[in-house]
């Protein structure tokens, strides 16, 4: 059986570290083409993974190559255009998170996938973690009861990316909220069953990114830093639940990076990392900490993501990420950024 022909749009760090290795490792796929706005970047990736065809335009690549699968790893501002073009070219698409720059773009992408009859998945790779699987089973079994509050944290001490365009608001749409916070936000919302948001209130700060400093994720240019370096916010939901979020690229905290979702239910609570369940039983308070969690798929969440994507295309699995879920997350991001800009609560 002929392997699926894969094209990669944008050849930066996320493409070379999280997409190309796992397509290259899977016998069902062949890396056929790569495009990047910079010819040297595309050629380096092609040389590294033995890719035959190199382009400086995604449009040209999609027009000239007969591709089955495309990974979109370009800056957020280009996601919608690249995804829609790939879908219209007859390709299944895996798009890096976040879906796009706003909900309207995410809706266009969702509609394009439906019209093309192709799969569109987003790179929320924390959904593929074994802890997520176990926690979802516990929630489905009623261990937490009704989830009425969520704490979401994606905090870095000095984790401003020193590569790519992560500090360029025009190309990324924002900073840690849309980049790292979105992972934990998606995880919390997915685990709690996608309650309908009704109101958002948020504040963003730009306190450390505009100054020179120690870079644990490489050196950045403070003169061109145009995104927030910390965001905090709260979401109220139609069912009465609430969510509080904190996320930073740079903050004066103890740990280099802290990623966690805490779920509070009326029968129990849970932390994602480090994983634990909290219960009241038999007149006592218990902490349930697993000694072992079974790994049912690839250990690397990016490999698990690519494997799942290909299993969906093969008809072996149902997608655990739907286009409308990406649009839902984008809707919350829009509301948080709007609230911060207007300095007041806004309707979602």
Region 43-49: what's the mean pLDDT? 96
Give 78's pLDDT tier (boundaries 50, 70, 90): very high
| Predicted confidence (pLDDT) at residue 196 exceeds the cutoff of 80 | yes
Task: Give the alpha-carbon dihedral of 160, 165, 170, 175, to 10 degrees.
Answer: -20
| pLDDT attached to residue 51 | 97
Region 28-50: what's the mean pLDDT? 96
| pLDDT attached to residue 9 | 98
Predicted confidence (pLDDT) per residue in 312-321, tens digit: 999 999 999 9
| pLDDT attached to residue 287 | 97
**Distance, C-alpha 221 to centroid of its chain:** 24
Give 75's pLDDT tier (boundaries 50, 70, 90): very high
Give 1's pLDDT tier (boundaries 50, 70, 90): confident
Other beta carbons within 10 Å of 78: 18
Region 160-178: what's the mean pLDDT? 96
Which residue pairs, CB below 8 angstroms and at least 24 apart, start in 300-305? 300/22, 301/125, 301/126, 301/128, 301/129, 302/17, 302/18, 302/19, 302/22, 302/125, 303/21, 303/22, 303/25, 304/125, 304/128, 305/18, 305/22, 305/94, 305/123, 305/125, 305/128
Q: Which domains does the chain have, with CATH numbers?
A: 4-122 (3.40.50.720), 127-298+328-347 (3.30.360.10)
pTM value? Answer: 0.96
Region 148-170: what's the mean pLDDT? 97
Region 232-244: what's the mean pLDDT? 98
Q: What is the CA angle 318-116-25, rounded to 5?
A: 50
Region 82-87: what's the mean pLDDT? 98
> Measuring CA to CA, which residue among 232, 127, 252, 109 is closest to residue 181?
232
> Measuring CA to CA, which residue among 339, 322, 324 is closest to residue 177?
339
| pLDDT attached to residue 295 | 80
> Measuring CA to CA, which residue among 56, 116, 107 is closest to residue 85?
116
| pLDDT attached to residue 223 | 96
| Predicted confidence (pLDDT) at residue 245 exceeds the cutoff of 80 | yes
| pLDDT attached to residue 99 | 97
Q: What is the mean pLDDT of the chain?
A: 97
| Predicted confidence (pLDDT) at residue 232 exceeds the cutoff of 90 | yes
| Predicted confidence (pLDDT) at residue 296 exceeds the cutoff of 80 | no
Q: Tell me the pairing of strands 242-248 and 230-237.
A: antiparallel
| Predicted confidence (pLDDT) at residue 294 exceeds the cutoff of 90 | no
Give 297's pLDDT tier (boundaries 50, 70, 90): confident
Tell me the three state secondary structure of residue 205.
strand
Give 298's pLDDT tier (boundaries 50, 70, 90): confident
| pLDDT attached to residue 299 | 87
| pLDDT attached to residue 212 | 93
| Predicted confidence (pLDDT) at residue 54 exceeds the cutoff of 90 | yes
């Amino acid at each position: 059986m002929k392997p699926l022909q894969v094209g990669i749009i944008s050849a930066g760090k996320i493409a070379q570290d999280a997409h190309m290795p796992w397509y290259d490792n899977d016998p069902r796929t062949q890396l056929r083409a790569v495009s990047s706005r910079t010819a040297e970047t595309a050629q380096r990736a092609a040389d590294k993974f033995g890719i035959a065809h190199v382009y400086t335009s995604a449009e040209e690549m999609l027009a000239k190559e007969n591709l089955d699968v495309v990974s979109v790893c370009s800056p957020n501002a280009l996601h919608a255009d690249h995804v829609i073009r790939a879908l219209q070219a007859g390709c299944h698409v895996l798009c890096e998170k976040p879906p796009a720059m706003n909900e309207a773009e995410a809706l266009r992408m969702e509609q394009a996938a439906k019209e093309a009859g192709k799969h569109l998945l987003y790179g929320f790779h924390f959904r593929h973690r074994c802890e997520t699987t176990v926690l979802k089973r516990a929630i489905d079994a009623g261990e937490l009861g009704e989830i009425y509050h969520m704490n979401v944290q994606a905090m870095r001490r000095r984790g401003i990316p020193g590569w790519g365009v992560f500090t360029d608001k025009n190309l990324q749409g924002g900073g840690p909220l849309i980049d790292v916070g979105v992972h934990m936000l998606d995880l919390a919302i997915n685990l709690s069953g996608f309650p309908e948001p009704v109101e958002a209130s948020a504040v963003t700060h730009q306190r450390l990114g505009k100054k020179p400093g120690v870079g644990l994720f490489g050196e950045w240019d403070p003169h061109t830093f145009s995104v927030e370096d910390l965001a905090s916010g709260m979401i109220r939901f139609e069912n009465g639940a609430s969510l509080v979020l904190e996320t930073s690229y740079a903050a004066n905290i103890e740990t280099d990076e802290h990623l966690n979702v805490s779920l509070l239910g009326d029968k129990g609570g849970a932390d994602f990392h480090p994983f634990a369940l909290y219960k009241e039983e038999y007149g006592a308070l218990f902490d349930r900490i697993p000694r072992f969690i079974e790994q049912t798929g690839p250990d690397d969440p990016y490999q698990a993501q690519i494997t799942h994507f290909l299993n969906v295309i093969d008809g072996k699995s149902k997608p655990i990420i739907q286009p409308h879920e990406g649009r839902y997350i984008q809707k919350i991001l829009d509301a948080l950024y709007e609230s911060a800009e207007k300095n007041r609560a806004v309707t979602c």
